[in-house]
A and B are shown apart, each in its own frame.
Chain A
Amino acid sequence: MRTLVLLLLMLAPAAADAQTLSVRGFGEGEVFWFPQEVPADPTRLIGHFLGRGEVFYKPAPVIQFAGGLDLRANSHDQVEAGWRLDYGDRGAERPRLSVRRLSATYTKSRLTVDGGKQFIRWGKTDIVTPTDRFAPRDFLNVINGEFLAVTAVRAVIQLRDDAFDGVWAPRFTPSRTPLLDQRWSGIPPNAVQVPVDGGATMPTGSQFGIRWSHLGAAAEYSLSYFDGFNHLPLIRSSVDIEAPAVVVTRLYPAIRTYGGDLAAPTPWFTIKGEAAFFESSSNDVPPDERSDDYVLFVAQLERQSGEWTFVGGYAGEIVVRSRSSLPFAPDRGLSHAFLGRAAYTLDPNRSVALEGAVRENGRGVYTRGEYSQAHGQHWRTTVAAAVIGGETDDFLGQYRRNSYMSATLRYSY
Chain B
Amino acid sequence: MSKRRRLSAAAFLWLPVGVVVSSHVAGGVTAQAADDARTIVEEAQRRTDAKSQRYEGLLQVFDARGRISDKRWTFERLGSHGQSRAVLRFVAPPEVKGVALLVVNHPDRASDQWMWTPAIERDRRIALQDRSTRFFGTDFSFEDLEERDVNQFDYVLAGEEPIDGFVCWKIQSTPRRTKSSQYTRSIVWIRKDTYALARIENYQKDKLVRRLDYSDIQNVQGIWTARRMEMADLTRGSRTRLTLDRLQYNLPLKEEDFTLQAIRRQ
When the two chains form their complex, are residues A265 and B137 in contact, meaning their CB atoms are under 8 A apart?
no
Give Cα distance in the complex from A265 to B142, angstroms: 15
**How many A-B residue contacts, CB cutoff 8 Å?**
98
Give Cα distance in the complex from A88 to B66, angstroms: 49
Given A215-B112, A345-B137, A377-B70, does the pair A110, B121 have CB atoms closer than 8 Å?
Answer: no
Task: Give the CA-CA distance A303 to B127 in the complex, in Å.
Answer: 8
Q: Which one of A105, A121, A304, A347 lies within 8 Å of B121 (CB-CB)?
A: A121
**Which partner residue on chain B sits nearest A64 by CB separation?**
B265
From B91, B121, B265, contact of A119 by CB (8 A): B121
Interface of chain B residues 249 through 263 with chain A (CB within 8 A): 254, 256, 259-262
Report the bound CA distance from A413 to B256 in whole Å: 29
Q: Pick from A71-79, A177-185, A199-207, A267-275 the stretch touching chain B.
A: A267-275
B129 touches A267 (CB 8 A): yes
Q: State whether A348 touches B137 (Cβ < 8 A).
A: yes
A378 contacts chain B at the CB level, 8 A cutoff: yes
B109: A residues at CB distance < 8 A: 217
> What residue of chain B has the Cβ atom nearest to residue A305's Cβ?
B133
Is B35 an interface residue, CB under 8 A from the partner? no
Task: Specify the main secondary structure of chain A where it touches its partner.
Answer: strand
A residues near B92, Cβ cutoff 8 Å? 377
A163 within 8 A of B: yes
Q: Which of A103-146 contact B (CB under 8 A)?
A: 105, 107-110, 112, 119, 121, 123
A107-B112 in contact (CB<8A):
no
Interchain CB contact under 8 A, A24 and B94: yes
Bound CA span A306–B131, Å: 10
A302 CB contacts on chain B under 8 angstroms: 127
Which residues of chain A from 199 to 229 have a CB within 8 Å of any chain B CB? Answer: 215, 217, 220
Q: Given known contacts A158-B260, A267-B129, is B112 in contact with A374 (CB within 8 Å)?
A: no
Given contacts A121-B121, A268-B129, A348-B69, whether A377 and B138 have CB atoms under 8 Å apart is: no
A215 to B106, CA, bound (A): 14
Q: Across the interface, which residues of A come within 8 angstroms of B130, CB to CB?
A: 270, 303-304
* Chain A residue with the shortest CB-CB distance to B122: A121
Within 227-266 of B, Cβ neighbours of A (below 8 Å) are at 254, 256, 259-262, 265-266
A303:B261 contact, CB within 8 angstroms: no
A357 near B: Cβ within 8 Å?
Answer: no
Output the residue of A112, A220, A410 with the most chain B CB within 10 A. A112
CB-CB < 8 A to B254: which residues of A? 61
Q: Mark B92-128, 1 if CB is under 8 A from A, else 0.
A: 1111011000000000010010000000111001011
Q: How far is the CA of A340 from the CA of B109 in the complex (A)?
A: 32
Which residues of chain B come closer than 8 Å to A242, judged between CB atoms?
none
Q: Return the chain A residue nearest B68 by Cβ.
A: A348
- 9 pairs of A and B residues whose beta carbons are closest in the complex: A348-B137, A412-B94, A265-B127, A304-B130, A348-B69, A56-B266, A119-B121, A270-B127, A412-B95
By a beta-carbon cutoff of 8 Å, the part of chain A in contact with chain B is 22, 24, 26, 54, 56, 61, 64, 66, 105, 107-110, 112, 119, 121, 123, 147, 156, 158, 163, 215, 217, 220, 263, 265-270, 302-307, 345, 347-349, 374, 377-378, 380, 410, 412-413
Q: Please give 19 more A-B residue pairs, beta carbons under 8 A apart, in addition to A265-B129, A303-B130, A377-B94.
A: A22-B98, A66-B266, A107-B261, A107-B262, A109-B256, A112-B261, A121-B121, A158-B261, A163-B260, A163-B261, A267-B129, A268-B129, A270-B129, A345-B134, A347-B67, A348-B61, A374-B95, A378-B94, A380-B95
